[in-house]
Amino acid sequence: MLFGKLGKPIEFRCRAYEECLSEVVVTHSPRYLIDMNLEKGKTIFDKINTPYDVLRQKKNPIKSITDYYKSKLKAGQDLWWIQDTERASNLVINIWNNLSSLEKQEVRNKAMVYFPEVFSNRGDKFSRLAIWLVTREAVVCPNIRDVFTAGGKDDYLIKDKVYKNIPRIFIKLFENSGSVLEILMNTSALELSEYWNTKTTEKTKIMDWINLVSANSKTIQNTKHLDIKKMLTELIF
């Protein structure tokens, strides 16, 4: 890497490429941040504990980078750019209300699979979902809570039994259980493990998701009379 400054004072600096790459920054895609005065042992390759010559020969070199930055995230943070060769990103940012009813339901179904904490009473239960909507779906939703909870409570029939006073978010889940199951089946266990922050497998991912939803539902006061695990199992299996 050779840099030259022709203004006064004239100065030239030359270093090995891998010795002056301090971080990865993003414009339209990730690229290295160059620091010609970088101290030895402070490169991005030192931080990820992978030599440059090893990283550049990997089939997916950016994964080591994203794994490093993911490990540094605080609660409620996410990476807004993640390499995914199988998924194209949308150049257009949309407002939730501009989506069709079908598009809204498709996004809502994915959200209920990827973020089981939306079924809890946590104060930040929509935080990760809000970031995901913008970064992965290119959708801004100013009233994200209403998307899931608006409409109060209702009754629901499952296998000849009527369940009373069910919160609206669970009604939406039960009504779309078929589509939700399809998303679970078509999403790899590796990807689901990242979303859930817990390991799952192809064999156990459906039951693991049911258990996560059930565990979160137990934190809601007005679902104490419901066995969400049993209800979901009856709907899905």
Arithmetic mean of pLDDT, 38-47: 94
State whether 59 and 153 are in the same domain. no
The pTM (predicted TM-score) of the whole model is: 0.73
Q: In which region does residue 49 sit, left (phi positive, over 0), alpha (psi from -120 to 50) or beta (all else)?
A: left
Q: Is residue 185 part of a domain?
A: yes
Residue 90 has pLDDT above 80, yes or no: no
Same domain (yes/no): 132, 167:
yes
Give me the pLDDT at residue 29, please: 60
Q: How many domains does the chain have?
A: 2
| CB-side neighbour CA atoms (13 Å) of 179 | 16
Query: Which residues, 6 or more positions from 62, have their beta carbon under 8 angstroms from its beta carbon?
Result: 30, 83
Q: Does a structural domain hold residue 80?
A: no
- The answer for 159, left when phi > 0, alpha when psi is -120 to 50, beta otherwise, is left
Residue 79 domain-assigned (yes or no): no
Q: Is residue 104 domain-shared with residue 194, that is, in the same domain?
A: yes
| In a shared domain, residues 52 and 107 | no
Which of these, 36, 198, 217, lies nearest to 112 by C-alpha position?
217
Average pLDDT over residues 213-228: 94
**Residue 31 or residue 55, greater confidence:** 55
21, 12 contact by CB (below 8 A): no
The string of pLDDT tens digits covering residues 140-189 is: 999 999 999 888 899 999 999 999 999 999 999 999 999 999 999 999 99
- Same domain? For 17 and 125 the reply is no
Give how far Cα 155 sits from Cα of 10, 167, 168, 169, Å. Answer: 78, 9, 10, 12
Domain that holds residue 64: 2-71
